């Protein structure tokens, strides 16, 4: 876990530390000032603490903690691939298509959780994602957070998104990833009614901050070096868009440069670890829809915005 924190920028770590410090002060201050009214303070502290814990659980994802088992989604586990690649916020013309080129050249598979309004502007990219054997999931009609939205609103949005994306893809859509990984109790109910499963990640590397390619490459290599998680490859979160922003995102050039160096080495490492003979029969081929459980422990929080592309 400490090694994994090395992919988190210092600024993000400082924000989390400051949030925790302020929360602690908020909880302790009333006892220092009005300690005589202990019963009233105790009730107030329970209410405040409960609200803070719920917001923290919603806004800062911690794997599949408290996610019902029937809603836990799965990602493809490609044959001979020791790291699961996952992209959010696309598709983006000029970026998603180039990512697909790099994946095809390296013989790798990935998952793409797309925003519906972008998918409808670039249906050819949706068809290509499916045709080339990648998993297609829903990231929402847009990039709004589930937090603060009613169950009825979420049900309608998820159903519309699932149905319209399925038409574009020519196949059912079963997985959903919420913006920033935010989960709420209303979202759980809405997912059940919409017939979708929740799918998160293991490690985000803040690619949307547009760090230099060398920094992104080092973070990718670190995540790969962490090895398996609960018997399955870890899930690396990347972005082929940035929220609802139109046009190419600022990190496009840096991301493509890092992937150009990283993907061939990922494929080579996978081939080097392949078994032979009967052992191969126990592994899953790349084009099978068999799935591996997915979770996450480091949330990506700096990915607001998005992208636009021609047909």
Identify the pLDDT of residue 244: 97
Identify the pLDDT of residue 276: 37
pLDDT band at 141 (very low <50, low <70, confident <90, very high): very high
Cα 181 to Cα 186: distance, rounded to the nearest angstrom: 14
Q: Is 298 helix (H, G, I), strand (E, B) or coil?
A: strand
Q: Is 231 helix (H, G, I), strand (E, B) or coil?
A: coil
> pLDDT > 90: what percent of the chain?
55
Identify the pLDDT of residue 4: 64
65 secondary structure, DSSP code: T
Identify the pLDDT of residue 54: 67
Identify the pLDDT of residue 36: 62
- Average pLDDT score over the chain: 81
Identify the pLDDT of residue 227: 83
pLDDT band at 187 (very low <50, low <70, confident <90, very high): very high
Identify the pLDDT of residue 134: 96
Identify the pLDDT of residue 53: 67
Per DSSP, helices labelled H in the chain are: 10-33, 38-59, 96-106, 116-119, 123-131, 151-169, 185-194, 213-225, 252-272
Cα 241 to Cα 281: distance, rounded to the nearest angstrom: 37
Q: What is the pLDDT of residues 22-70, one digit of tens each?
A: 777 776 766 666 666 666 667 776 777 777 666 665 555 556 777 899 9
Query: Out of 127-131, 194-198, 291-295, which region has the weakest mean confidence (pLDDT)?
Result: 291-295
> pLDDT > 70: what percent of the chain?
75
The torsion angles phi and psi of 273, rounded to 5 degrees, stand at -95, 5
Identify the pLDDT of residue 280: 34
Distance, first Cα to last Cα, the chain: 43
- Whether 7 contacts 209, CB under 8 Å: no
């Amino acid at each position: 876990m400490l090694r994994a924190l090395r992919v988190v920028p210092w600024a993000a770590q400082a924000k989390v530390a400051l949030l925790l410090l302020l929360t602690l002060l908020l909880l302790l201050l009333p006892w220092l000032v009005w300690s005589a009214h202990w019963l009233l303070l105790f009730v107030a502290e329970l209410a405040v603490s409960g609200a803070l814990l719920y917001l923290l659980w919603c806004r800062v994802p911690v794997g599949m903690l408290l996610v019902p088992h029937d809603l836990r989604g799965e990602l493809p586990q490609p044959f001979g691939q020791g790291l699961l690649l996952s992209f959010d916020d696309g598709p983006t013309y000029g970026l998603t298509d180039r990512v697909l080129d790099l994946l095809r050249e390296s013989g790798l598979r990935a998952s793409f959780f797309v925003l519906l309004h972008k998918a409808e502007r670039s249906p050819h990219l949706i068809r290509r994602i499916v045709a080339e054997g990648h998993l297609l999931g829903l990231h929402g009609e847009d990039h709004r957070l589930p937090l603060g939205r009613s169950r009825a609103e979420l049900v309608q949005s998820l159903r519309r998104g699932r149905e319209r994306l399925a038409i574009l893809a020519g196949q059912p859509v079963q997985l959903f990833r919420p913006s920033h990984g935010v989960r709420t109790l209303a979202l759980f109910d809405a997912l059940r009614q919409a017939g979708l499963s929740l799918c998160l990640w293991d490690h985000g590397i803040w690619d949307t901050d547009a760090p230099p390619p060398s920094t992104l490459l080092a973070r990718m290599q670190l995540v790969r070096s962490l090895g398996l998680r609960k018997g399955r490859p870890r899930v690396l979160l990347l972005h082929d868009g940035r929220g609802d922003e139109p046009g190419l995102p600022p990190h496009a050039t840096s991301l493509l440069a890092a992937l150009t160096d990283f993907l061939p080495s990922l494929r080579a490492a996978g081939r080097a670890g392949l078994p032979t003979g009967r052992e191969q029969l126990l592994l899953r081929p790349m084009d099978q829809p068999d799935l591996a459980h997915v979770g996450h422990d480091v949330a990506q929080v700096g990915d607001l915005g998005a992208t636009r592309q021609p047909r």
